[in-house]
Amino acid sequence: MNVLYRSLRVTVHSQFYRQISVNMIRRTQIKKVLCVAEKNDAAKGIAEIMSNGRSRRREGYSVYNKIYEYEYNLFGQNVTVSMTSVSGHLLGLEFKAPFQKWHSCNPVLLFDAEVEKYCPENFIPIKRTLEREVRQCQALVIWTDCDREGENIGFEIIDVCKAVKPNVQVFRARFSEITPNSIRRACETLTEPNINISDAVDVRQELDLRIGASFTRFQTLRLQKIFPESLSDQLISYGSCQFPTLGFVVERFKAIQAFVPETFFKIKVVHEPNEEESVEFNWKRHRLFNHTACLVLYQMCMEDPTAKVISVTSKPKSKWRPLPLDTVELEKLASRKLRISAKETMKTAEKLYTQGFISYPRTETNMFPQNLNLTLLVEQQTQDNEWGNFAQRILESGGPTPRNGNKSDQAHPPIHPTKYTNSLQGNEKRLYEFIVRHFLACCSKDAQGQEVTVEIEIAEERFSASGLTIIARNYLEVYPYDKWYNKVIPLYRPDTTFQPTAIEMVEGQTSPPQLLTEADLISLMEKHGIGTDATHAEHIETIKSRMYVGLTADQRFLPGELGMGLVEGYNSMGYEMSKPDLRAELEADLKLVSEGRKDKASVLRYHVAKYKAVFIESVRKAKKLDEALSNYLGPAQEITEQEQGEM
Amino acid sequence: MSVGEVQVTQAWLHSEWHVQVPPAWLDACVNWIKEEADRESVPQLQLNQRVLEQWLLTDLRDLAHPVLPEGISEALKTQLDSCYCVQMDSVLDISQPAYTQLQRIRGTDCSNDQVSAVTQETQRPWEAKPTRMLMLQLTDGVQSLEGMEYRPIPALSTNLPPGTKLQLVGPIAVRLGVLLLKAENVKVLGGEVEQLLEIYSQGRVLCGTLGLPEENHPQGEEPDD
Ligand SMILES: [Mg+2]
């Protein structure tokens, strides 16, 4: 964090690009085109498709980012394409030199200190490649991932290229999967990069930097001094997403601690009409939290223990096939069903995507677009030994009939397989199989069953039991992640009576909620708008790596002492630092910026001011933080007024 | 004070409301109402009404005038056939955990507690939505007993203030000293008892049930600085 190599100052204003019209450009002579993808894998995959596997590979300055060269018909003419890549963000954001060192200034100044974009040392070779290549090109096509970060990375590439070749013409390729159709379509419909989306990322980056650096410096410097024994070497980071995420973990832990179990009582009726069959009837009152009241009703039942069948109803019941897969569902399901963490899931999914096996895995869409040829996608899977027959049956029984949700991000389709493979290993194989099975299940039919409910009365108390007969398993055949079982109950006729085998009064206890699983935590983050589907996994990873939380043996989140103390400390200041509201408002504004409905500068100004006010108050009430932490870390070290002033 | 007036009131209370009061209390009450009126004459109808209002606000324990059959709270199995006016000291919903109810009235119930990773909800399983069952702590001033909401009684709720007066209308089954109440057995007359409002508030009753220390300050009222 200390030494920075700054070789670029970004001053180019992007307003300019908006005025480019595609029609105008077509008249100029373009001979050579530079294409830049977000990662080397993607560049390689796209180049392979565009060149029909006949691209020439060259080295760039960065050993990880190759250059693929080939001829292609673009803008209605044959051009030479150089396809290369970056490795995610090319530029970083940092404070200007006087503010970079930890002790260089009072952290409160970081809310207003000047910031600038720079190219970190390890990315300079990539930047040099771009500068060298673009000089010989008349056009630049951005092939980064089509999401917020991708759009922003695109503008970083544009800024670097424009700095050495101001008149290069810039285009954006839009695609959701690295398949021939999708890439060809993107080439035919090149557009302009979207500055609004990129602006939203700039705002987020700048706020994260200012808020993160100020609070992190403040709390680290203070707490290291106050708890030298436990914290002297510890970085105590703060982030406006990681704290609410930590807050959820602490909140659940405290809910469990505060919970008071209560005893309840219920009446259970068992009927065994013959040796093979046994039915348990459930009390309509469910349960009572009072022994006497239950005993009174139980005694009445025992005095007249004849059961009268009130009604027997039979109705169809279906178990719904899954909805098309969006990112959050993928993370949650992979975590629950495959026991793969959200971070690992996204890493693996990204790899599957860049190899062309699945569509873009960052999507909020859970409905298939009309123009997606699902039949073709199902067809690709018919060759598999395990689910091939199922795929074949979908085609033979009327074709894919996807169940659709109602969310769309207007950018990417739901996650689905784009190419068949049986050559994967390990988690890649498991995740690919899951995505394929989920897709086929979604394109299939709901499972169908018939539910029979028997209602009986004993001494005017009502009880009921139900049985289930599965008629057609349908999607369940390809989707082992869902379970549905037959439950047989004997035949009862209305208005008949029988003697129950046993009537019992049983007791039980209420139990607290459980510690959060990763899937629960993602649900909460989504519910409160903390982070985006693209960043949930990262925030969770951060609070783990900072030791704010740990995992129990059954993979549930348990807050650590430092995490508990920090949340309690900030809570006792009366600020909702660990509550989701502050951050959620910011995320909502970022969305408006990305849609062009709010402007970058005013959103920045508003949120900087808000967090700055919270910061000033937090410093004023810093003793509360010490107090809360001393419950976990032992007595606080006294510090002098002067030391206090220096912090 | 004319003796006739008091007797008329007593008869009215009994025939209209099935309310029985000890003569000494009634005398004192009528006297007090007249004093308050400051020698203006109080018409009989108004007097009746004012006495009833006083009774509704009185802790029946102060009257020490039993109306329920003796030993009813110990009866294993019996039935009440006539009409009785009693006082409800407190009420508790025993169909739900007290902890949940306490969180709700304190406003600390956290919807996040219910969140778990239910993904892509399939058809919702039939959930037993329990019918409410209130448990009432009743007294006729001398004998205390409980009444349970055996069948739904819309007129009752946990919002009724402690000391509310109820008219119980037989026949009412009694088991293990508990009245099995149905809608037709209960008429809410109203009233409250000021001294009971605090000690039998829902918060206190729920804390008592849970064995928690009674908090006078609701959570979140911690002073700032
Ligand atoms: Mg990306």
pLDDT tens-digit readout, A479-500? 999 999 999 899 999 999 999 9
Q: Please report the pLDDT score of residue B189 as a whole number.
A: 96
**pLDDT tier, A647 (very low <50, low <70, confident <90, very high otherwise):** low
The answer to whether B76 faces chain A, any CB pair under 8 Å, is: no
The answer to whether A523 faces chain B, any CB pair under 8 Å, is: yes
What radius of gyration, in Å, describes the C-alpha atoms of chain B?
22
Q: CA dist A581 to A530, A578, A587, Å? A: 9, 9, 10
| Best residue of A266, A292, A294, A337 to probe chain B, by most B CBs closer than 10 Å | A292
Contacts of B133 in chain A (CB under 8 A): 285, 288, 293
My answer on whether omega of the bond before B162 falls inside 30° of 0, hence cis, is no
- Convert the pLDDT of each residue in A204-262 to its tens digit: 999 999 999 999 999 999 999 899 888 888 889 888 888 889 999 999 999 999 999 99
Asked if A296's CB is within 8 angstroms of B148's CB, the reply is yes
**pLDDT tier, A379 (very low <50, low <70, confident <90, very high otherwise):** very high
Distance from CA of A74 to the nearest CA of B (A): 43
Please provide the average confidence, as pLDDT, over all residues in chain A: 90
- Convert the pLDDT of each residue in A545-561 to its tens digit: 888 999 999 889 999 99
Ramachandran assignment for A459, one of left (phi > 0), alpha (psi -120 to 50 degrees), beta (any other)? left
Q: Please report the pLDDT score of residue A235 as a whole number.
A: 87
Q: Please report the pLDDT score of residue B225 as a whole number.
A: 34
What angle in degrees, to the nearest 10, is found between the helix axes of A242-258 and A561-572?
A: 90
β-pairing, B144-149 vs B178-181, is: parallel
Rounded to an integer, the average pLDDT of A294-319 is 96
Instruction: Using the predicted structure, report yes or no on whether residue A300 has a pLDDT greater than 50.
Output: yes
Q: Please tell me the number of Cα atoms within 13 Å of A500 on its side-chain side.
A: 27
Comparing CB atoms, the residue among B98, B116, B128 nearest residue A289 is: B98
Please provide the average confidence, as pLDDT, over all residues in chain B: 86
The answer to whether A184 faces chain B, any CB pair under 8 Å, is: no
From A360, A432, A479, A570, active-site residue: A360
- Convert the pLDDT of each residue in A64-121 to its tens digit: 999 999 999 988 889 999 999 999 899 999 999 888 888 888 899 999 999 999 999 9
Q: Please report the pLDDT score of residue A264 as a whole number.
A: 96
Asked if A524's CB is within 8 angstroms of B115's CB, the reply is yes
Rounded to an integer, the average pLDDT of A19-31 is 58
Distance from CA of A346 to the nearest CA of B (A): 18
- Convert the pLDDT of each residue in B4-48 to its tens digit: 888 999 999 999 999 999 999 999 999 899 888 877 788 888 899
Q: Please report the pLDDT score of residue A130 as a whole number.
A: 97
| Distance separating the N- and C-terminal Cα atoms of chain A | 19
**pLDDT tier, A22 (very low <50, low <70, confident <90, very high otherwise):** very low
CA of A147 to the centre of ligand 1 (A): 7
Give the nearest chain B residue to A330 (CA atoms).
B119
Q: Please report the pLDDT score of residue B119 as a whole number.
A: 43
Characterize A23-42 residue by residue with b for buried, 16 or more Cβ atoms within 10 angstroms of its Cβ, and e for exposed: eebeeeebebbbbbbbbbbb
- Convert the pLDDT of each residue in A105-146 to its tens digit: 889 999 999 999 999 999 999 999 999 999 999 999 999 998
Rounded to an integer, the average pLDDT of A453-471 is 95
Rounded to an integer, the average pLDDT of A279-292 is 95
Q: Please report the pLDDT score of residue A239 as a whole number.
A: 86
Rounded percentage of chain A residues whose pLDDT exceeds 70: 94
Q: Please report the pLDDT score of residue B110 as a whole number.
A: 64
Q: Please report the pLDDT score of residue B219 as a whole number.
A: 43
- Convert the pLDDT of each residue in B167-199 to its tens digit: 999 899 999 999 999 999 999 999 999 999 999
Give the nearest chain B residue to A512 (CA atoms).
B113
Residue A360 catalytic?
yes
Report helix, strand or coil for A314: strand
Q: Please report the pLDDT score of residue B113 as a whole number.
A: 67
**pLDDT tier, B222 (very low <50, low <70, confident <90, very high otherwise):** very low
Q: How many CB pairs under 8 A join A and B?
A: 103
CA of A545 to the centre of ligand 1 (A): 22
Instruction: Using the predicted structure, report yes or no on whether residue A160 has a pLDDT greater than 80.
Output: yes
What is the ipTM metric for this complex?
A: 0.90
What predicted TM-score, i.e. pTM, was given to this entire model?
0.80
Asked if A320's CB is within 8 angstroms of B123's CB, the reply is yes
- Convert the pLDDT of each residue in A574-618 to its tens digit: 776 677 777 888 889 999 999 999 999 999 999 999 999 989 999
Instruction: Using the predicted structure, report yes or no on whether residue A452 has a pLDDT greater than 70.
Output: yes
Cα–Cα distance measured from residue A153 to residue A415, given in angstroms and rounded to the nearest whole number: 23
- Convert the pLDDT of each residue in A172-201 to its tens digit: 999 988 989 889 999 999 999 999 999 999
The answer to whether B213 faces chain A, any CB pair under 8 Å, is: no
Q: Which residues pair with A229 in a beta bridge?
A: none
Out of A220-229, A466-475, A638-647, the most confident range is A466-475
- Convert the pLDDT of each residue in A509-531 to its tens digit: 999 989 999 989 988 988 887 87
Segment 474-513 of chain A within 8 Å of chain B by CB: 482, 510, 513
Instruction: Using the predicted structure, report yes or no on whether residue B202 has a pLDDT greater than 60.
Output: yes
Let me know: does B106 contact B218? Beta carbons within 8 Å.
yes
Q: Please report the pLDDT score of residue A641 as a whole number.
A: 61
Identify the CA nearest to A248 among candidates B121, B120, B115: B115
Rounded to an integer, the average pLDDT of A439-455 is 96
Q: Please report the pLDDT score of residue A2 as a whole number.
A: 36
